[in-house]
Structure 1
Amino acid sequence: MKKSFIVFLILIVFLVSLFSAYLLKKEESPLSKNDLEVITNGVGVNIKRDVTEEDIETIADAGFKWVRVDITWEKVETKKGQYNFEDTGYDDLNKWLKDNNLKPYYILNYSNNLYEEKRSIVTERGRNAFTEFASAAAQRYSGQGAIWEIWNEPNFKTFWDPQPSYNQYAKLVKAVSPVVKKQDKSGIVVAPAVSGLNKDSLVWLESLFKENTLNDIDAVSVHPYRYSSPESISEDYIKLKKLIGQYTDKNIPILSGEWGYSMAQSPEHRLTEGQQANYLTRMFLINAQQGVPISIWYNWKNNGGDLNAREQNFGVLWYDSEPKLSYLAIQTLTNQLEGYHFSKQIHSDNNGDYILEFKNSDDEKILAYWTTNSNHNSIIKLATGKGKLISMLGAVRHVEWGKSIDLKFLPSPSYLVIE
């Protein structure tokens, strides 16, 4: 009798273990270990709703894996309780994404004058209605490993009017997150898509974290725009990681949910086409070095033809859809680093020089290197070998070396593929 009981207990433990493993597998986040490590799995771009199917195909050709786009509440629900995803173009867009093996990064926003007076949600009625809208969207586009971002830049008055409120936003996150997770078990919920990553935004984030919101989300999304070069982000990420660690024991990654450089930054900060391509490439590389699993470049295409207008000149394509150098730069990066993850940063005696080592599953190595200073040559110690030098825009040169290699450091990253 006793032996039978022990066998019965062992069987129960075994079945419980199997069931638990099944649940974990079923609810696995799209930010799996592989996604967290492989740089090209996290490369994305922001689009506007007026993109065409050809745009989506071209985005895939560039090597982007994620597409970030608004699902605008007031566009979808023009009559109370009725959600129109078909005529608003979202069904077509979602189909194009699936056809091209692209993952959706959906932003659930903004307000709706059927329920709220301003561009914010400050009433229980508005919160309940927005939650129903979010539930309908998550159910309709479930099973794709989508990212679901709650709002966009709620710490910025333009997007949370008349006054940004971490308290009201926290209430929205707590209402929406469990509903979205229930409707789309393959998805991941992120917030708050905070505007800026600086002293002020860190204060706002800490206030939000004090509302216990980190227990409701899977990642913290930030928009670290700046006039300075991409490398300046490193200290800000360190501060944010430390802040997150003060308010949760969960492993909460940071997503660079929107970041780009306009060629018309300001009268004092103007970029050439080549400089924008440099910054784009370095942004993705630095984010990989900092352990940021997903990076979204803003924007896919210039919004207009005025070359002096900042907002119109973030695109990797010109307004007429012709590719910029930035398009060639991202295509080169994704082609070269497909399947590779960041391994380590190699020390350089020259301040401003960056040498990042990437490896793939076969332990093959690629070095991405550049400088934030002026052009110069530097001798790097390296085991005897041969390989290819590939420029930021894809030019290839075969090389061999002894115990060191003489590399030319430019503001535009180059790749040394070690064979």
Structure 2
Amino acid sequence: MKFPIFLASMAAGCMLAAADFRGSELFDRNRIVPEGMGVNIHFFDHESGMDALKSLDMRWLRMDITWDRVEREKGVYDFSQVDKLMNDAKARGLRVLAIIDYANKLYEPEQKVISEAGRRAYSAYAAALVRRYAGHDVIWEIWNEPNNSGFWPGNDPGEYMELVKAAVPAMREADPQAVILGPSAYRVAPEYMEACFKAGLFDYVDAVSFHPYRRHRPEEVLDDVVVLRELMRKYRGPGRELPPIVCSEWGFSATQHDGENGQALRVPRAALLSLMAGIDLYIYYDLWNDGGDATNSEHNYGLFTSPPFLMEKPAAVALKTVAKALAGFRFSRRIGAEENPNRFLLEFVSSSGEKRYAHWSDDEKEHEWRVPAGFGMFSRVTMTGQKRIGVYRPGDRLVSGPAVEYLIPEAAKPENWKVLGVLLPAPDAAGPWQAEPSAEAAVRGERLATGVRDLSGAVDYWFRPEKEDFGKTILTGGDLDRSFLTLEFRLDAEGRPSVRHRVRQGQKWLEPIGTNEAVPPGRWTRMTYAAGWEGRRLYINGQMVASAPAELGPVSPAFHIAPAPLKGEAGQLKVISGDGFQL
């Protein structure tokens, strides 16, 4: 192949400069959710479509800047449609991944560019694009799926690389800072990728792009990335920086994946797995359904229904929830893979050090686990952005299934707690409790009147039992004037504590929660029970020993709370109302 002298000199300069992999700052920023997330579109001018994309809280769009729509007369470019796209994107704060494709019949009879004249014309077109939109937050991709015979007949990597070697130098001359991607391969395609790498792809592009489509588990993309990086190391050489990896297209058709709900299960997992795998840009395919035939897979990749209505599908809500639940956070690590390889528990960290988590399972089964130490208090948010009832803590039981769930920290809020009352012990009791509260809250007597119908908060009780108190109730709550109990602290015959209460719905006793560790006779013990919308927890001497999930309603009325007569001593009793109680 022959080039003019100026193109040959540009090629030499390109090969030196591209080793720096332009866009490193951009790709690093893309690791922060949702900076590296976007959606593929199929229009130049559609205000409602642009608004729908923006509503997802994405930062990128990907679009074909099809050659034969811009150059319909040799050497004459009509950029009016592209201008509209770029301006609309810029107005909404969206960056553009622009695909420079496909063949133009003015130069090539087939859907590929293999003639010298065709390569020259394509290169001129690509350079014109890059020059015109420099500074528009655009990155450029050379073709779409050239290893797919539908887009490049014969899918010959040698032919594709000849185009790359012709076009990229022209693009660098037009804008030396242009960020260029390739080969935009369908799936990881090891043989095709290797041929491109061997032919010098790294000397021309700033990132390697591919499309990890699959019919089964999204989690298989992790294996793809391992294969891809091994190939990259082979041809990049030991100790040399690897270029970023871009997932420039990946979608799930509702037709192939158990309907719209099955699609919605996979979309957020793909986005999270891309972050976990170190993929620097993730583009979902595509924005809206491309038709109305429910049996046609190509019609059902969309996050929205097709125009004019553009209604959100469950997958759109699921992807938007990724962007909102983890906004400002980077992937940090996967937790517990060695314990359960089918459960994914991913940690994300903000610049301030705050941590959030996402979890799910990859095998369509439910996997039970306990929240590890160090998580603190957190709330649970569903795949579709619904905050669940309750506040959870280390030791609580959770279940991972195929739907992603987010764990969002909840700071303890003492201002939400109110001391309803404190029942002081006998004046001569010498317990280890804290100093007496204000006189308004403290009383002496046999029982404490809470003054509320629904006790949602905590009961904090000090007692010093003797062995004779084992097997007995040590504290009760409810309407004690009518002997209607709603709360009961007990020690079993071995001295093991437990607590139970009634819920208003159905006026039923909930299953007791307790511990197998007996309290020591003759020593002061602090027993704290927190209950309400945030769940149920039992603490012994400040350590949580048992918990149960949140209930569907408040506890039954506890007008009065009173210690039971003990052979030992009853100490301070404190009743606190409010959500999110924490010792």
Shorter-chain TM range is: 0.7 to 0.9
Match of 1:346 in 2: 335
User: Structure 1 pair 171/214, CA: closer, same or farther in 2 (3 Å)?
Assistant: same
- Give the alignment's Cα RMSD to 1 decimal: 1.9
CA apart distance, 1:380: 2.4
**Structure 1 residue corresponding to 2:94, chosen from 91, 99, 102:** 102
Match of 2:32 in 1: 38
CA apart distance, 1:384: 6.0
Match of 2:387 in 1: 396
Match of 1:360 in 2: 350
Cα distance per residue 1:65-103 (max 9 Å; x no partner)? 1100000111110111000011xx211111110000000
**Structure 2 residue corresponding to 1:331, chosen from 308, 320, 323:** 320
**Structure 1 residue corresponding to 2:85, chosen from 72, 76, 93:** 93
User: Structure 1 pair 131/379, CA: closer, same or farther in 2 (3 Å)?
Assistant: same
- Whether 2:231 is the aligned partner of 1:243: answer yes
Match of 1:16 in 2: none
% of aligned pairs identical?
32
Partners of 1:340 and 1:42 lie apart in 2 by 12
SS in 2 for 1:39: coil
CA apart distance, 1:406: 1.8
Cα contact 1:68–1:106 (8 A) shared by 2: yes
Match of 2:70 in 1: 76
Partners of 1:93 and 1:47 lie apart in 2 by 11
> Whose relative contact order is higher, 1 or 2, with alpha carbons under 8 Å and at least 6 apart?
1
Query: How many residues in Structure 1 have an aligned counterpart in Structure 2?
Result: 385
**Structure 2 residue corresponding to 1:176, chosen from 161, 164, 167:** 167
**Structure 2 residue corresponding to 1:410, chosen from 398, 401, 408:** 401
Match of 2:124 in 1: 132
Partners of 1:214 and 1:205 lie apart in 2 by 11
CA apart distance, 1:264: 1.2
Q: How does 1:193-272 map to 2 (within 5 A)?
A: 193-197=184-188, 201-248=189-236, 249-265=240-256, 270-272=257-259
Cα distance per residue 1:151-190 (max 9 Å; x no partner)? 11111111112x2221121111112112223323443100
CA apart distance, 1:228: 1.1
**Structure 1 residue corresponding to 2:294, chosen from 307, 310, 318:** 307
SS in 2 for 1:37: coil
Cα contact 1:263–1:310 (8 A) shared by 2: yes
Structure 2 unaligned spans of 5+: 1-16, 411-583
CA apart distance, 1:33: 5.8
> Which 10-residue stretch deviates more, 320-329 or 94-103?
320-329
> Which 10-residue stretch deviates more, 223-232 or 392-401?
392-401
Match of 1:8 in 2: none
SS in 2 for 1:397: coil
Cα contact 1:299–1:314 (8 A) shared by 2: yes
> Which 10-residue stretch deviates more, 374-383 or 225-234?
374-383
- Whether 2:266 is the aligned partner of 1:279: answer yes
Partners of 1:121 and 1:31 lie apart in 2 by 32
Match of 1:295 in 2: 282
User: Structure 1 pair 371/214, CA: closer, same or farther in 2 (3 Å)?
Assistant: same
SS in 2 for 1:40: coil
Cα distance per residue 1:293-340 (max 9 Å; x no partner)? 101111100000001001110000012411101111111110111110
Match of 1:160 in 2: 152
Cα contact 1:30–1:186 (8 A) shared by 2: no
SS in 2 for 1:381: coil
**Structure 2 residue corresponding to 1:146, chosen from 138, 161, 166:** 138
**Runs of 4+ that moved beyond 4 A:** none
SS in 2 for 1:117: coil
CA apart distance, 1:28: 5.8
> Which 10-residue stretch deviates more, 245-254 or 332-341?
245-254
More helix by share: 1
User: Structure 1 pair 406/136, CA: closer, same or farther in 2 (3 Å)?
Assistant: same
SS in 2 for 1:343: strand
Partners of 2:105 and 2:24 lie apart in 1 by 34
Cα contact 1:385–1:400 (8 A) shared by 2: no
Match of 2:511 in 1: none
- Whether 2:51 is the aligned partner of 1:57: answer yes
Structure 1 unaligned spans of 5+: 1-22
Amino acid at match of 1:164: N
User: Structure 1 pair 402/325, CA: closer, same or farther in 2 (3 Å)?
Assistant: closer
> Which 10-residue stretch deviates more, 389-398 or 133-142?
389-398
Partners of 2:234 and 2:42 lie apart in 1 by 36
TM score, norm. by length of structure 2: 0.64
> Which 10-residue stretch deviates more, 270-279 or 50-59?
50-59
Match of 1:317 in 2: 304
Cα distance per residue 1:272-310 (max 9 Å; x no partner)? 211111100000000100000101111100000001001
Partners of 2:140 and 2:179 lie apart in 1 by 6
TM score, norm. by length of structure 1: 0.88
> Which 10-residue stretch deviates more, 307-316 or 399-408?
399-408
SS in 1 for 2:270: helix
Match of 1:13 in 2: none
Partners of 2:84 and 2:171 lie apart in 1 by 21
Cα contact 1:143–1:186 (8 A) shared by 2: no
Match of 1:371 in 2: 361
Cα contact 2:38–2:284 (8 A) shared by 1: yes
User: Structure 1 pair 264/403, CA: closer, same or farther in 2 (3 Å)?
Assistant: closer
Cα contact 2:44–2:84 (8 A) shared by 1: no
SS in 1 for 2:64: strand
Partners of 1:156 and 1:327 lie apart in 2 by 28
Q: Larger radius of gyration, structure 1 or 2?
A: 2
Partners of 2:215 and 2:274 lie apart in 1 by 17
CA apart distance, 1:116: 1.0
